[in-house]
Amino acid sequence: MIATTAHGIPKLGLGTFGRTGEDGVSALLDALEIGYRHIDTAQSYDTESSVGEAVRRSGLARSEVFITTKVADTNLAKADFLPSVEKSLETLGVDGVDLLLIHWPSDKDAVPFEDYMLALAHTQEKDWAKRIGVSNFPIALLEKAETLLGAGALSTNQVELHPFLQSPKLTAYAKEKSLPLTAYMPLAKGKVSKDAVLERIGEKHGVTAAAISLAFLMAEGHVVIPASSSPDRLRENMTAIGVTLDADDMAAIRALDQGGRMIDPDKAPEWDD
The pLDDT tens digits for 108-129 are 999 999 999 999 999 999 999 9
pLDDT tens per residue across span 42-57 = 999 999 999 999 999 9
Report the pLDDT value the prediction gives residue 58, as an integer from 0 to 100: 97
Report the pLDDT value the prediction gives residue 51, as an integer from 0 to 100: 97
Percent of the chain with pLDDT over 90: 99
Report the pLDDT value the prediction gives residue 10, as an integer from 0 to 100: 97
Q: How far is CA 226 from CA 54, 115, 182, 202, in A?
A: 18, 31, 11, 17
Report the pLDDT value the prediction gives residue 1, as an integer from 0 to 100: 77
pLDDT, average across residues 94-109 = 98
Report the predicted TM-score, pTM, of the whole model to 2 decimal places.
0.97
The answer to whether residue 198 scores a pLDDT higher than 90 is yes
Report the pLDDT value the prediction gives residue 233, as an integer from 0 to 100: 95
Indicate whether 100 and 71 sit together in one domain.
yes
Given 147, 172, 195, the domain boundary residue is: 147
Outline where the chain has alpha helix (H).
21-34, 48-58, 78-92, 113-125, 139-149, 168-176, 196-205, 209-219, 231-238, 247-254
Q: Which residue has the higher pLDDT, 223 or 229?
A: 223
pLDDT, average across residues 192-220 = 98
Question: Which pLDDT band, with edges at 50, 70 and 90, does 239 fall under?
Answer: very high
Task: Give the residue numbers annotated as catalytic, written as ranges.
Answer: 45
Indicate whether 57 and 24 sit together in one domain.
yes
pLDDT tens per residue across span 35-90 = 999 999 999 999 999 999 999 999 999 999 999 999 999 999 999 999 999 999 99
What range does the domain containing 128 cover? Answer: 9-147
How many structural domains comprise the chain?
A: 2
Report the pLDDT value the prediction gives residue 242, as an integer from 0 to 100: 96
Indicate whether 128 and 253 sit together in one domain.
no
pLDDT, average across residues 137-153 = 98
pLDDT, average across residues 176-201 = 97
List, as one string, the DSSP characters of 80-138.
HHHHHHHHHHHHHT-S-BSEEEESSPPGGGSS-HHHHHHHHHHHHHTTSBSSEEEES--
Report the pLDDT value the prediction gives residue 66, as an integer from 0 to 100: 98
What are the CB-based long-range contacts (under 8 Å, 24+) for 260-266? 260/162, 260/164, 260/165, 260/188, 261/160, 261/165, 262/160, 262/165, 262/185, 262/188, 262/189, 263/160, 263/184, 263/185, 266/107
Given 147, 178, 195, the domain boundary residue is: 147
Indicate whether 14 and 131 sit together in one domain.
yes
Given 122, 147, 172, the domain boundary residue is: 147
Indicate whether 29 and 62 sit together in one domain.
yes
Mean pLDDT, the chain, integer: 97
Q: How far is CA 32 from CA 18, 29, 60, 94, 110, in A?
A: 17, 5, 9, 17, 39
Domain with residue 119: its CATH number is: 3.20.20.100
Question: CA Rg, the chain, in Å?
Answer: 18
Residue 217 counted as domain residue: yes
Indicate whether 188 and 232 sit together in one domain.
yes
Contacts of 184 (CB under 8 A, 6+ apart): 15, 40, 135, 158, 159, 160, 161, 225, 263
Report the pLDDT value the prediction gives residue 70, as an integer from 0 to 100: 98
Residue 255 counted as domain residue: yes
